């Protein structure tokens, strides 16, 4: 029985070991051991300093309390800022022409532009920058503080502490200097008593005490983030205990009312006191100063605009819109005032202001002598050079005399020389501008003509007119011989009208007019609208 029991125990232990191994592989059992020899439960988050009281460490806990899906390729490392790798001795093909580094181009070089680049000097070649690439997970790409060095903020704290220390030291020296001057004056004065001298000396000694011993008088100890309230921390109380409470300034029952719930006293508790000696004059004094006054003006503007119906402004529904409209209103008002002032100054002048000396007289003179020839070339001396950037400037293409973007019209950029809005187009000059204007005018006239035609009321009934302009029969046919004779008679009549001496004394008129005669008259008469009428003989 003993052997069987031992065998049973060994089999039981073997079975437990197998289950533990399977649980460890599945991530449901502890697999690590800490420094004290205890097993670490993976179900307890390792960022916790101690397990919560409600977590039972003997059994598996909830899976979401630990990071059970971890990426083995994820890294918390960040770019090595300012790190350099290889430094070459000579210039390499394809490197930066300014500094000689291979990791960036000439336009992206952040070093100071050299007078002669490293490409031509082969000296002072800058080392290559260290270029790294990391594969961040979903949270790492969206982490605002990824790669932030906490030690950088220590410099900010040190700078502010040094400023406060310097300010404290300056005020201390100023206070000591005032007390010493006062004590010297009182020593010179023979009428001062011995008691006053003792008081001043005592004040001077108190001022000389180290201020660091008196800095903790306003600290309040509180317990934060522990089971009983947390670790002990220091919280500064900004209230100065030496200040008198506002409700104790005037104990009269009929004085200014103090609201204990909001701790406010709107009226002045001491209205008859000297204003230069008063420390507190009621809460209403803050309502007419600072940002409170600006907010009041904003409300008044919103009310007045809503009453006048100029805009739908609501301070509660859209405060940003109301503030923007008020800002635009103030800008427009200031602009109108400035324009009015300028018009008055141009018309009447400004006698209060002195005439300024022209800038050419102030800054135009120099000791350097430069001599030019008739063509404008420098003969003697050195002309001051204009600094240029590393980008191309004043490069004109396609016969243009201005760069792209020097002209703006109808929300389109263009060239100022020819007013074209097509980039890389050939310059047409002044002729192109005039042609565009003529095309625009022609298009406008065509549009107006079409509009006028559409406005004509009703269809026009066409009448079949005769050849000479009166109504005739539709089947009227003219005789060619009679028409030729009528044309000859009409020519003779015209000649007689020009020279009245050829007209006979006895003239016989025939009131009967044939269609051929009427057609001859129409063909020979002068048309006032005819553009060639001046050339007819």
pLDDT at 112: 93
Residue 7 pLDDT > 70: no
Q: In this predicted model, what pLDDT tens digit does every residue of 10-27 receive, in sequence order?
A: 667 767 677 767 666 555
Q: Which residue has the higher pLDDT, 513 or 67?
A: 513
Instruction: For residue 429, give the H/E element and its range.
Output: helix 429-455
CA distances from 200 to 183, 184, 186, 242 (A): 7, 10, 9, 21
Residue 169 pLDDT > 70: yes
d(CA 500, CA 305) in angstroms, rounded, equals: 86
Mean pLDDT over residues 371-397, rounded?
Answer: 75
pLDDT at 8: 46
Q: Give a three-class secondary structure readout of 279-347.
A: CCCCCHHHHCCHHHHHHHHHHHHHHHHHHHCCCCCCCCCCHHHHHHHHHHHHHHHHHHHHHHHHHHHHH
Mean pLDDT over residues 485-497, rounded?
Answer: 82
User: Cα–Cα–Cα angle for 95, 99, 104, nearest 5°?
Assistant: 45
Q: How many helices (H) and strands (E) does the chain have?
A: 12, 8
Q: Is 411 left (phi over 0), alpha (psi -120 to 50) or beta?
A: left
Instruction: For residue 33, give the H/E element and its range.
Output: strand 32-33
> Whole-number mean pLDDT of the chain?
76
Residue 232 pLDDT > 70: no
pLDDT at 73: 64
What is the distance in angstroms between the CA of the first residue and the CA of the last residue of the chain? 157
Mean pLDDT over residues 28-33, rounded?
Answer: 49
Contacts for 123 with CB less than 8 Å, ≥ 6 apart: none
Q: In this predicted model, what pLDDT tens digit does every residue of 312-368 receive, in sequence order?
A: 778 888 888 889 989 999 999 999 999 999 999 888 777 677 667 666 666 666 677
Instruction: For residue 453, give the H/E element and its range.
Output: helix 429-455
Annotate 198-252 with DSSP letters as a single string: HHHHHHHHHHTS-GGGGGGGGEEEEEESSTTS-EEEEEE----TTSPPGGGS---
Q: In this predicted model, what pLDDT tens digit does every residue of 49-101 receive, in sequence order?
A: 456 666 666 655 555 555 555 666 666 678 888 888 999 999 999 999 999 99
Residue 460 pLDDT > 60: no
Using the Cα atoms of residue 419, residue 421, residue 427 and residue 433 in order, give the sign of their dihedral: negative
Give percent of the chain above pLDDT 70. Answer: 65
Mean pLDDT over residues 112-134, rounded?
Answer: 92
Q: Which of 30-34, 51-55, 164-168, 239-243 has the highest mean pLDDT?
A: 164-168
Q: In this predicted model, what pLDDT tens digit does every residue of 265-289 receive, in sequence order?
A: 989 999 888 888 888 888 888 887 8
Residue 235's DSSP bridge partners are 220
Mean pLDDT over residues 238-247, rounded?
Answer: 75
Tokens of 201: 């000396």
Which region among 281-285, 301-305, 451-455, 500-504 has the lowest average model confidence (pLDDT)?
A: 500-504
Tokens of 39: 């097993």
Buried residues in 81-107 as b, exposed as e (16+ CB within 10 A)? eeeeeeebeebeeebbbbbbbbbbeee
CA distances from 497 to 7, 439, 483, 485, 513 (A): 158, 49, 21, 19, 19
pLDDT at 213: 46
Which region among 219-233, 272-286, 473-487 has the lowest average model confidence (pLDDT)?
A: 219-233
Give percent of the chain above pLDDT 90. Answer: 17
pTM of the shown model: 0.24
> Coil, strand, or helix at residue 236?
strand
Q: How confident is the model at residue 47 (pLDDT cuts 50, 70, 90)?
A: very low
Mean pLDDT over residues 381-387, rounded?
Answer: 66
d(CA 293, CA 281) in angstroms, rounded, equals: 17
Q: What are phi and psi of 118, to 5 degrees?
A: -65, -20
Tokens of 73: 């390729």
Quick one: DSSP state of residue 259? B
Residue 32's DSSP bridge partners are 40
């Amino acid at each position: 029985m003993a052997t069987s029991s031992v065998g049973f125990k060994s089999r039981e232990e073997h079975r437990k070991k197998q289950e533990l191994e399977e649980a460890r592989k599945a991530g449901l059992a502890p697999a690590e051991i800490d420094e004290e020899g205890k097993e670490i439960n993976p179900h307890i988050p390792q960022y916790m300093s101690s397990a919560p009281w409600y977590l039972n460490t003997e059994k598996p806990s909830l899976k979401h309390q630990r990071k059970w899906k971890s990426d083995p390729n994820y890294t918390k490392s960040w770019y090595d800022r300012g790190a350099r790798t290889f430094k070459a001795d000579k210039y390499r093909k394809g490197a930066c022409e300014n500094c000689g580094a291979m990791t960036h181009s000439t336009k992206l070089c952040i070093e100071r532009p050299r007078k002669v680049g490293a490409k031509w000097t082969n000296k002072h070649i800058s080392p290559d920058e260290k270029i790294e690439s990391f594969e961040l997970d979903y949270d790492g790409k969206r982490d605002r503080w990824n790669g932030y060095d906490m030690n950088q903020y220590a410099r900010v704290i040190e700078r502010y502490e040094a400023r406060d220390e310097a300010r404290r030291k300056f005020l201390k020296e100023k206070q000591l200097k005032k007390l010493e001057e006062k004590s010297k004056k009182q020593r010179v004065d023979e009428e001062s008593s011995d008691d006053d001298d003792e008081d001043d000396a005592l004040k001077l000694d108190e001022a000389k005490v180290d201020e660091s011993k008196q800095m903790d008088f306003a600290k309040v100890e509180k317990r934060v983030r522990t089971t009983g309230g947390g670790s002990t921390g220091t919280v500064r109380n900004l209230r100065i205990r030496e200040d008198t409470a506002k409700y104790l300034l005037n104990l009269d029952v009929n004085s200014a009312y103090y609201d204990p719930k909001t701790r406010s006293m709107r009226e002045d508790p001491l209205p008859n006191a000297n204003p230069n000696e008063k420390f507190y004059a009621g809460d209403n004094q803050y309502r007419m100063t600072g940002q409170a006054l600006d907010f009041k003006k904003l409300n008044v503007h919103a009310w007045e605009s809503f009453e006048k119906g100029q805009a739908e402004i609501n301070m509660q529904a859209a405060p940003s819109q109301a503030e923007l409209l008020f800002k635009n209103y103030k800008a427009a008002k200031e602009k109108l005032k400035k324009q009015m002032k300028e018009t008055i100054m141009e018309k009447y002048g400004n006698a209060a202001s002195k005439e300024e000396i022209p800038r050419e007289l102030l800054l135009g003179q120099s000791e350097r002598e430069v001599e030019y020839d008739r063509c404008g070339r420098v003969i003697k001396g050195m002309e001051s050079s204009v600094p240029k950037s590393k980008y191309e400037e004043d490069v004109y293409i396609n016969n243009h005399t201005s760069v792209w973007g020097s002209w703006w019209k109808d929300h389109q950029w263009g060239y100022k020389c020819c007013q074209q809005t097509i980039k890389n187009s050939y310059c047409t000059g002044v002729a192109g501008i005039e042609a565009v204007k003529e095309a625009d005018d022609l298009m406008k006239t065509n549009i107006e003509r079409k509009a006028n035609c559409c406005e004509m009321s009703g269809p026009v009934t066409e009448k079949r007119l005769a050849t000479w302009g009166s109504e005739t029969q539709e089947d009227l046919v003219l005789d060619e011989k009679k028409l030729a004779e009528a044309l000859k008679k009409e020519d003779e009549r015209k000649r007689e009208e020009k020279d009245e001496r050829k007209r006979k004394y006895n003239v016989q008129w025939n009131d009967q007019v044939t269609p051929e005669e009427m057609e001859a008259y129409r063909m020979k008469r002068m048309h006032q609208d005819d553009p060639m009428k001046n050339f007819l003989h």
